[in-house]
Amino acid sequence: LPARERNGMRFNCLFPAFSSPGKSKEAEIKRINKELANIRSKFKGDKALDGYSKKKYVCKLLFIFLLGHDIDFGHMEAVNLLSSNKYTEKQIGYLFISVLVNSNSELIRLINNAIKNDLASRNPTFMCLALHCIANVGSREMGEAFAADIPRILVAGDSMDSVKQSAALCLLRLYKASPDLVPMGEWTARVVHLLNDQHMGVVTAAVSLITCLCKKNPDDFKTCISLAVSRLSRIVSSASTDLQDYTYYFVPAPWLSVKLLRLLQCYPPPEDAAVKGRLVECLETVLNKAQEPPKSKKVQHSNAKNAILFETISLIIHYDSEPNLLVRACNQLGQFLQHRETNLRYLALESMCTLASSEFSHEAVKTHIDTVINALKTERDVSVRQRAADLLYAMCDRSNAKQIVSEMLRYLETADYAIREEIVLKVAILAEKYAVDYSWYVDTILNLIRIAGDYVSEEVWYRVLQIVTNRDDVQGYAAKTVFEALQAPACHENMVKVGGYILGEFGNLIAGDPRSSPPVQFSLLHSKFHLCSVATRALLLSTYIKFINLFPETKATIQGVLRAGSQLRNADVELQQRAVEYLTLSSVASTDVLATVLEEMPPFPERESSILAKLKRKKGPGAGSALDDGRRDPSSNDINGGVEPTPSTVVSPRGWAIGAWGPPGATPSHLLLRTPSELGCREPPGGRLLRRPSYQGGNGDSSPPPPPRFVCKNNGVLFENQLLQIGVKSEFRQNLGRMYLFYGNKTSVQFQNFSPTVVHPGDLQTHILPLAVQTKRVAAQVDGGAQVQQVLNIECLRDFLTPPLLSVRFRYGGAPQSLTLKLPVTINKFFQPTEMAAQDFFQRWKQLSLPQQEAQKIFKANHPMDAEVTKAKLLGFGSALLDNVDPNPENFVGAGIIQTKALQVGCLLRLEPNAQAQMYRLTLRTSKEPVSRHLCELLAQQF
């Protein structure tokens, strides 16, 4: 056999094309197609193949697949190999299955059967093969078939060590893919005790599993803390040869140490003083060892040792409670900043970023500013320079902002194109956040445009306009500076935009100087006009009409420009329309009207800087506290106050003037960030002046409506995202209600400043509150995995249409979060069912016969038309169901009274299903017109 093996299984013999490089791609493909045809014919042939040949051909198919060619057959032969009792045949079968995963259900059944047999075989090598296959495929089907068995294998007393190791990691993979399939139970406690196992390999595998499981079930695994600490302590204090084969280049068990340190980062510092003491001792030992001379010159030694060191520092930062250790960590990283290994410099810069956000080490990090600036200038690898820029951003505060901003600006001139936009965003944020005087801020942003105009996104230049508009102490300076900047022979189009906007608003502030008199300002801007894009030209046209208002003496010149054929007959419809409209406006409107229409922009409502939001988007969530504006820096008393997000529902009465500014095109190009919903208008921003302002919509309706399912139900999950789940339970009696809200923290991190508040927008016309809602405060911190409850007492004073809003704000990992939801409180909750006889019903029905008392809706069924379900929904809605009233037994008739403190509203309803047409007709009659319509709307969406 060996001879045959050698000739049969070696591919260089089978595929000489691959071992001789000179051959062309075509030759390779030809050779492969021939081989595939050959294998196909063997598989299809009449003669049954023996196990050896099957293995050979399956192995060839795998080889061809791994060369990058598609394989669409051979799965069945591979599955056959699984039931072979020859180890190698089985092994190749499993490899094929794990590499070429197939979703054919019949195959999956066969595969699962084979795996089941091997798991039950008590042959450890077969069991391991089966476990490896499950771990490699990791599909949901495998999870469904095996997730329940594997915990048993893992903790069984008679399982071999190698089987335990594979079982632990197999379970980990299944849990990651489908956590719902892995049942927690009595086995979890025994898994934790694997941390004490004699066999280091078993411990290594078990730590990974526990680290993953404990994130969702921290309490179930809490006992792992002390076990992990004592294991770690034994490793850290062992001599470099104690652990024999688990010592790696004189470092005892580096992988296990890193994993144990990682596991501890899933928990807060140990509560038990003895455990904590022992742990702190470990951490100190690691820090001390870093100062010892290396035991080997090999890079593997220093890498393994430093891997543990960096993980130790991560844990110290995670605890953020030991000032002494934090400062030592910072000093250690400081040494690495100048290390000759690029890898270490990179990691030190990265790690220091997180240290910068701790109040204990922020100052210590700042002492390295010169080294970091030097790294920014001299590092040859762009990814290292980027880390340096990140760190400068993280260590910035008021004391060093000017230095850091100027260094970053200088760096921007030579920076890699790939990271320019990010640097621009960071400079813009720092300049705004730490501006002591706004002239510096304006200078910085204009410098940004000058140096890297192409990378200055809309968010950045919108923001400078916002700030200048909101602060009158800087407007004159801004006008003067942009005027000067525009005098450069070549300036970036973004500069023209900013200049056009600022001069149009505040050009009058510098008009007294003959060097910047109105005609000079106008001709300066207009000299750029022809070089600009349509969007910018549209903006400049708006500047011109604003000039006519600011400087009547420019009117004739500007009208001349607007009247020119190149404007009035411009091929671009937006420009043409602006020219026509502005020309007409300037000729027909009186000075007063012109002054009103073209008045200076109102201040913008303060809100989170959109630049910050953009940076977060770029970096993804959880980008670390370096990006968190609200860092624990006592001196960061933001002068703009622009960092706390505020509800952006303020409607500016003069909002439509913005229309004059908005360049045409897509929504984002609408100047100054006022999106249509914020303005309360649902039309796209046309950006044209002569358009009726539209105030439909009232408040920016950004909160989702309460799910319609709560209309007929009082309990359920109101909201859920990755961080937070809000459950609701409520009961109503007459005009009173009590609601319990349950806020569950789904993460392992504490929420801070947690504050849910309830507001009722009330009736916009009358300002009378229809609901009185009392809330109890809840704790400001919600621990990871914990749930807090809030009770609301609700009294319905009068009928209402809009539900109260629940606004929840908190900080997660330093980043402010906020959401607004509509509470499931609708008018029908205060329904009192009323039983009455058919005669009474008809009498009352007739009494409510005024057209406005009735609301009717005919609509298509969205759900199957089931009479029992319909009944349940109507009862859930709150009305009584009256039998024997409607002559047609298919129809439903109901009656009830809505109880409010001020008045009672009698309601009658009739629902006529038409099963053939799959339609309903719903009729509501109540003594109050809006209530009829509202109830009709609410109920109609239930079917």
Q: Mark the binding-site residues, compressed into ranges.
A: 42, 52, 56-60
- Cα-only R_g, the chain: 36
Q: Which is nearer to other proteins, 245 or 370 (CB)?
A: 245
Q: Which is nearer to other proteins, 307 or 861 (CB)?
A: 307
Q: Which is nearer to other proteins, 208 or 636 (CB)?
A: 208
Dist. CA 222–CA 108, nearest whole Å: 38
What's the min distance (Å) between Cβ of 372 and other proteins? Answer: 16
Residue 178 touches other proteins, criterion: CB under 8 A: no
Contact 170, 204 (CB under 8 A): no
Residue 66 touches other proteins, criterion: CB under 8 A: yes
Region class of 912: left (phi > 0), else alpha (psi between -120 and 50), else beta: beta
Report the residue from 80, 84, 159, 166 that binds other proteins according to the rule CB under 8 A: 166
Residue 221 touches other proteins, criterion: CB under 8 A: no
- H helices of 691-805, in order, are none
Contact 225, 264 (CB under 8 A): yes
Q: Which is nearer to other proteins, 136 or 856 (CB)?
A: 136
What's the min distance (Å) between Cβ of 66 and other proteins? Answer: 6
- Give residue for tokens 């505040």: 506
- Token representation of residue 695: 């105030």
Dist. CA 304–CA 253, nearest whole Å: 9
Residue type (1 letter), 566: S
Q: Binding string, 129-158, against other proteins, x = CB under 8 A? A: --xx--xx-xx-------------------
- Token representation of residue 74: 């051979």
| SS3 state of residue 432 | helix
| Interactions with other proteins, residue window 271-300 (CB under 8 A) | 300
Stretch near other proteins under the rule CB under 8 A, chosen from 249-257, 519-527, 660-668, 806-814? 249-257
Q: Binding string, 187-216, against other proteins, x = CB under 8 A? A: -------------xx--xx--x--------
Residue 126 touches other proteins, criterion: CB under 8 A: no
Residue 2 touches other proteins, criterion: CB under 8 A: yes
Residue 562 touches other proteins, criterion: CB under 8 A: no
Residue 248 touches other proteins, criterion: CB under 8 A: yes
Residue 250 touches other proteins, criterion: CB under 8 A: no
Dist. CA 915–CA 911, nearest whole Å: 12
What's the min distance (Å) between Cβ of 375 and other proteins? Answer: 12
What's the min distance (Å) between Cβ of 312 and other proteins? Answer: 11
- For residues 470-501, one letter each, b for 16 or more C-beta atoms within 10 angstroms of the residue's C-beta and e for the rest, the string is bbeebbebbbbbbbebbeeeebbbbbbbbbbb
End-to-end CA distance of the chain: 73
Residue 169 touches other proteins, criterion: CB under 8 A: yes
What's the min distance (Å) between Cβ of 381 and other proteins? Answer: 4
| Interactions with other proteins, residue window 761-800 (CB under 8 A) | none
Residue 842 touches other proteins, criterion: CB under 8 A: no
Residue 91 touches other proteins, criterion: CB under 8 A: yes
Report the residue from 54, 56, 231, 345 that binds other proteins according to the rule CB under 8 A: 345
What's the min distance (Å) between Cβ of 117 and other proteins? Answer: 18
Dist. CA 649–CA 647, nearest whole Å: 6
Q: Binding string, 573-612, against other proteins, x = CB under 8 A? A: ----------------------------------------
Q: Looking at the DSSP assignment, which residues form a beta bridge with residue 793?
A: 738, 774
Residue 622 touches other proteins, criterion: CB under 8 A: yes
Residue 377 touches other proteins, criterion: CB under 8 A: no
- For residues 158-177, one letter each, b for 16 or more C-beta atoms within 10 angstroms of the residue's C-beta and e for the rest, the string is ebbebbbbbbbbbbbbbbeb
Residue 88 touches other proteins, criterion: CB under 8 A: yes
Residue 122 touches other proteins, criterion: CB under 8 A: no
Q: How many residues lie near other proteins (CB under 8 A)?
A: 73
Residue 568 touches other proteins, criterion: CB under 8 A: no
What's the min distance (Å) between Cβ of 724 and other proteins? Answer: 21
The Cα angle at residue 208 between residues 207 and 211, in degrees rounded to 5: 80
Residue 177 touches other proteins, criterion: CB under 8 A: yes
Residue 401 touches other proteins, criterion: CB under 8 A: no
Helix (H) / strand (E) element for 760: namely none
Question: 790 Cβ partners below 8 Å, 6+ apart?
Answer: 740, 741, 742, 743, 756, 775, 776, 778
Residue type (1 letter), 594: L
Report the residue from 119, 213, 256, 612 that binds other proteins according to the rule CB under 8 A: 256
Closest listed residue to residue 909, CA positions, set 937, 917, 918? 937
Stretch near other proteins under the rule CB under 8 A, chosen from 381-389, 592-600, 677-685, 910-918? 381-389
Contact 495, 450 (CB under 8 A): yes
DSSP string of 877-889, one letter each residue: HTPEE-TT-SSST
Report the residue from 32, 61, 62, 396 that binds other proteins according to the rule CB under 8 A: 62
Contact 826, 841 (CB under 8 A): no
Residue 369 touches other proteins, criterion: CB under 8 A: no
Report the residue from 230, 233, 343, 559 that binds other proteins according to the rule CB under 8 A: 343
Residue 242 touches other proteins, criterion: CB under 8 A: no
Contact 732, 792 (CB under 8 A): no
Dist. CA 293–CA 300, nearest whole Å: 15
Q: Which is nearer to other proteins, 307 or 769 (CB)?
A: 307
Closest listed residue to residue 666, CA positions, set 656, 651, 676? 676
| Interactions with other proteins, residue window 7-36 (CB under 8 A) | 10-12, 18-19
Residue 384 touches other proteins, criterion: CB under 8 A: yes
Report the residue from 113, 162, 610, 904 that binds other proteins according to the rule CB under 8 A: 162
Residue 246 touches other proteins, criterion: CB under 8 A: yes
| Interactions with other proteins, residue window 307-336 (CB under 8 A) | 307, 310-311
Residue 381 touches other proteins, criterion: CB under 8 A: yes
- Token representation of residue 602: 């109102």
Residue 727 touches other proteins, criterion: CB under 8 A: no
Handedness of CA 835, 839, 842, 848 (dihedral sign): negative
Looking only at the bridges linking them, the beta strands covering 724-733 and 771-775 are: unpaired
What's the min distance (Å) between Cβ of 273 and other proteins? Answer: 28
- H helices of 294-361, in order, are 299-319, 323-336, 342-355
Cα–Cα distances (Å) from 207 to 283, 844, 920, in that order, read 19, 72, 59
